[in-house]
Amino acid sequence: MNELVRIGIVSISDRASSGVYEDKGLPALQDWLGRALRNPIQFEARLIPDERPLIAQTLRELVDTLNCDLVLTTGGTGPALRDVTPEATLDVADKEMPGFGEQMRQISLRFVPTAILSRQVAVIRAKALIINLPGQPKAIAETLEGLKSSDGETLVPGIFAAVPYCVDLIGGPYLETREEMVKAFRPKSAQRPQSSP
């Protein structure tokens, strides 16, 4: 039986949070995670404006009060004056995990030169992994899943391949992925027999 995983999903946007346009980040995250993970998922979703203290408070609540194992944010990672998601994420960090941001930029640079402007970070707070993702649903899927050739072979690994083992190492639940979407990488010593679906 797969373990329950609590996942916080946070969409950060002044305009979407005030109803100027429909938020697409939360549905994209929920859809992708629902298809990629074999674990039962309890989502905690938040739609908030680009306010640094509020973003930090939301991340603390999701980890410290609601015991989320994984928190994914979308939006607010560019160079614009109101883009403060990385700063707010670092405000709550116990440890930085720079490899996630580096890999996301590597993937996005395959598509657009402006990916160099993205400032996503990933951190650990207590026993939770917090990752900033891009704002567009297509870019969210690309960075999580990676790039595949037309015959399905992985060209560039997505960041989610490393998430389950990271969650293991910080004391979270054992995450199992659907390998046709993303194959979790763990050293042989950390692998468990796959549970039945």
Residue 56 lies in a domain: yes
Write down the pTM of the prediction.
0.95
Residue 122 lies in a domain: yes
Sign of the alpha-carbon torsion through 160, 162, 165, 167: negative
In whole angstroms, give the CA distance from residue 124 to residue 181.
25
Residue 83 lies in a domain: yes
Contact in structure between 60 and 92 (CB atoms under 8 Å): yes
Task: Provide, rounded to the nearest whole percent, the portion of the chain with pLDDT above 90.
Answer: 81
Residue 197 lies in a domain: no
Q: Which two tokens stand for residue 24?
A: 């697409």
Find the CATH number of the domain harbouring 30: 3.40.980.10
Least confident of 51-55, 121-125, 129-133, 176-180: 176-180
Structural domain containing residue 26: 5-190
Contact in structure between 139 and 104 (CB atoms under 8 Å): no
pLDDT in tens, 19-62: 899 999 999 999 999 999 999 999 999 999 999 999 999 999 99
Residue 195 lies in a domain: no
Task: Provide, rounded to the nearest whole percent, the portion of the chain with pLDDT above 70.
Answer: 98
Residue 98 lies in a domain: yes
Residue 126 lies in a domain: yes
Contact in structure between 119 and 89 (CB atoms under 8 Å): no
Q: Is 19 left (phi over 0), alpha (psi -120 to 50) or beta?
A: left
pLDDT for residue 155 is more than 90: no
Number of domains in the chain: 1
Residue 89 lies in a domain: yes
